[in-house]
Chains A and B, each alone.
Chain A
């Protein structure tokens, strides 16, 4: 059902955990649907210097979260906003069609965390 890379990220997910002093937090999905992803980022000079995730969901949900965090760590916010669900799924060697929505969530979660960081900064300025 899943590619070897998906299984690898499921068994050994990267960047699992919490960032209690996160600069931006993005939570997507909902328990009713069966998928919840929480992305937490630390930003320095417009770059994501640290990122952690927590996920409630299937193998694809955990794997896409894991690889998405790897794909944006160290990148600028601009680059991270460009991350697409297609890129996440491709990076994993593909996902079954019914699981593509999970890869949506991983990219969305990161975008939301970035939006959250930006709106917090706006609030600080104001």
Chain B
């Protein structure tokens, strides 16, 4: 069996050896509950507070502004609900984009059922949110704006810093306006400094940057109205109850620290490979890149291959040892084509033919060349089987 060529890093990443190493003692040796009094527990307490400080430094924030939780989804849920419930006397209008992750969209939809009004901003054909659209959407009832830092499907990088400036201006009339960003896809690739981004809240998920699954963090700027969503004990300064996932926290901090240290090397490594792949696919017929050609994540190469369905391409790639993903309906639990691609104006029948390759540290030039060798044959075989190919030829 040949080596796996893993090209789905946006879905998840392996825990790196350094991260695993720092986590291990906290499972069965330094296993104390950080809230307990005795030394064993205090050791764990110190470890998580050191981890907190590490994470805060990467974000340019202070320790008290970091909440540890179970991942990106919880962070998004908590950020949105935490802000809008705290501010609901002032207003019940939320602004977000049509291409957010489901964790944001589903939270917003559930809030609509509770009487909140949500504006889902459109995006252009590259998946970019227009800063002017955000500005125009703000009303005197707006309490929260949530826009992702970079899109997980097509890699488009959103103008968060510019939106931050708009929010700063808007705060002259709406002092409590909160700006959140789902930065889950940005860690390790983009600058997460919260002041540069101009954000009040920010979500991260460890398993996207070589840390463990089931672990994330939410940054909440000091002074921002916030209502805790998970009640119980007094952990995380009463902002998120529950015994802390000590090994997870320690691991995430190490992973975040490493991701930030290696950021420029990572961007260089991945973008070289990404561009090689993009150049190669550009020579294939009826195949095109999705997302912004320039403002895109270093590791994201996403395409549509017309007349062929995404899952069938993925299965064929899997036989050849390549792991990737798709925005087709058949690959989604909801049996709907990707909302990101359709929001970008890509017709549903074409959205079903999408493939996403997201690269990482373990990928090489040889991997890209291998994929470029096998992909044309895979697409050709499936196109020969497809009734859409013949129809398209007739319509020419």
B194 to chain A, nearest CB (A): 40
Whether A10 and B315, one on each chain, are in contact in the complex, defined by CB atoms closer than 8 angstroms, is yes
Contact of B387 among A11, A56, A60 (CB under 8 A): A56
Residues in B neighbouring A62, C-beta threshold 8 A: 312, 385
Q: Within B361-396, which residues are at the interface with A (CB < 8 Å)?
A: 384-388, 390
What are the interface flags for B326-361 relative to A under an 8 Å C-beta threshold, 1 for contact and 0 otherwise? 001111010101000000000111001000000000
Q: A54-B385, A59-B312, A62-B385 are in contact. List 4 more A-B contacts (CB 8 A).
A: A7-B315, A34-B309, A56-B388, A59-B315
> Cβ of B26 < 8 Å from any Cβ of A?
no
Distance of A121 Cα from B361 Cα, bound (Å):
63
Identify whether the interface residues of B are mostly helix, strand, loop, or mixed: helix
- Is there an interface contact between B330 and A56, defined as CB atoms closer than 8 Å? no
Contact A27/B387 with A34-B330, A58-B328, A61-B309 known, Cβ cut-off 8 Å: yes
- Selected contact of B333 from candidates A11, A13, A61, A98, CB within 8 Å: A98
Docked-complex contact A16 and B387, CB < 8 angstroms = no
The answer to whether A36 touches B388 (Cβ under 8 A) is yes
User: Across the interface, which residues of B come within 8 angstroms of A2, CB to CB?
Assistant: 315
List 7 A-B pairs, minimum CB-CB distance, nearest first: A31-B349, A58-B330, A58-B311, A34-B352, A54-B387, A34-B329, A38-B387
Q: Is the CB of A16 within 8 A of B309?
A: no
B246 to A: closest C-beta gap in Å: 35
| Contact (Cβ within 8 A) A34 B387 | no
Complex contact A56–B329 (CB within 8 A): no
B386 CB contacts on chain A under 8 angstroms: 36, 54-56
Check: B51 CB closer than 8 A to any chain A CB.
Answer: no
9 A-B contacts, Cβ less than 8 Å apart? A2-B315, A11-B319, A13-B385, A16-B385, A31-B352, A32-B348, A34-B329, A35-B330, A54-B386
Contact A55 B387 (CB under 8 A): yes
> A55 contacts which chain B residues (CB < 8 A)?
385-387
A126 surroundings in chain B (CB, below 8 A): none
Output the nearest chain A residue to B307 by Cβ-Cβ distance: A56
Tell whether B304 is near chain A: CB-to-CB under 8 Å. Answer: no
Chain B, residues 287-318, CB within 8 Å of chain A (1/0): the string is: 00000000000000000000111111001000
Q: Counting CB contacts under 8 A, is A18 at the interface?
A: yes
A1-41 interface with B by 8 A CB criterion:
2, 7, 10-11, 13, 16, 18, 27, 30-38
**Interface residue from B311, B337, B388 paired with A59 (Cβ < 8 Å):** B311
Chain B residue nearest in CB terms to A56 = B386
Asked if A94 CB lies within 8 Å of chain B CBs, one says no
Residues of B within 8 A of A31 (CB): 348-349, 352, 388
**Within the assembled complex, what's the spacing in Å between the Cα atoms of A59 and B385?**
12
Q: Which chain B residue shows the least CB distance to A65?
A: B385
A114 CA to B315 CA in the complex, in Å? 32
